[in-house]
Structure 1
């Protein structure tokens, strides 16, 4: 993996909280960074290829859009963890799927348009080979933080 250039750091700092909402956001970023849209896009492609960047996107207020969410903790037989993780990833509403140490070793969040859809998906996940236990941990109060990394 190559080291980040000063330009890359400036680009990533801007991208974290200042992606313009316009028809050509990368051209606008290019203007802000005194370069071209093509250069911005090529650097973003390289940063993604090198593993510095996973995705560029927006956050929506899922509750306001009619969705409900829950945090799911799974106890999965270690030899079937990868297969269960892949199966979970196939659900459009599954996000933040990650392995953890301890009894409950696979965690993900699930956003669904209704309680019925949530219950169906959780029943399917609970029935996957290797899933030994499932906990659905609903939030009672939401605390949001905005994490931005200042790259120097």
Structure 2
């Protein structure tokens, strides 16, 4: 990755424009063409650096409920269980863990009742009976950004060309 890729990644994570033509706006901020932005994004997606570009919405503010779920899945059922869980539109994360509850995932649903029905369906379809659900009591961190300091330090500016100020500024 070159300095422009890093600046592009920083910009996509921190200052994605809400515009009719967002990639053109990104291109203008970086001083390159829209085609160059799209080409770089496509290449970074092919390499697995970018998984997705999309909005991150606060499901609770939209009236949805969410739970962290932990399941004790026998080794011979893991693939089937994971496939079933990953097929659900309300699953945002699904990870294996070295723990008695060896599969952990987050589930979002329109209501408590729908969430319970979904968990019951997973259990019924996979034969996994132990699926625990945990409500969030307090949110500590909701997102992660992977910023490239060297992309910023070359110009002592953010990818948008504006100098950052304040206690959290990165240069």
Q: Which runs of 5+ in 1 are unaligned?
A: none
**Are the aligned partners of 1:77 and 1:132 in contact in 2 as well (CA < 8 Å)?**
no
Match of 1:72 among 66, 69, 72: 69
**1:110 alignment counterpart:** 107
Give the total of aligned pairs: 149
Question: How has the CA–CA distance of structure 1 residues 10 and 57 changed in structure 2, closer, same or farther, with 3 Å as cutoff?
Answer: same
CA positional deviation for 1:129? 2.9
Between the aligned partners of 2:20 and 2:93, the Cα distance in structure 1 is 29
Match of 2:11 among 3, 9, 14: 14
1:5-44 equivalent positions in 2, closer than 5 A: 5-44=2-41
**Are the aligned partners of 1:68 and 1:114 in contact in 2 as well (CA < 8 Å)?**
yes
Q: Which has more radius of gyration?
A: 2
> Structure 1 residue runs of 4+, over 3 Å off?
none
Between the aligned partners of 2:37 and 2:96, the Cα distance in structure 1 is 34
TM-score (structure 1 length as normaliser): 0.92
**Are the aligned partners of 1:76 and 1:104 in contact in 2 as well (CA < 8 Å)?**
yes
Question: How has the CA–CA distance of structure 1 residues 144 and 128 changed in structure 2, closer, same or farther, with 3 Å as cutoff?
Answer: same
Q: Which runs of 5+ in 2 are unaligned?
A: 151-171
Between the aligned partners of 2:138 and 2:110, the Cα distance in structure 1 is 19
**1:127 alignment counterpart:** 124
Between the aligned partners of 1:146 and 1:126, the Cα distance in structure 2 is 29
**1:62-119, Cα deviation, whole Å (9 max, x unpaired):** 1111100000001111122122111011111111011111111111111110111111
Q: Does 2:75 align with 1:84?
A: no
Between the aligned partners of 2:95 and 2:123, the Cα distance in structure 1 is 17
Task: Tell me the C-alpha RMSD between the 2 structures.
Answer: 1.3
**Are the aligned partners of 1:71 and 1:138 in contact in 2 as well (CA < 8 Å)?**
yes
Between the aligned partners of 1:146 and 1:115, the Cα distance in structure 2 is 24
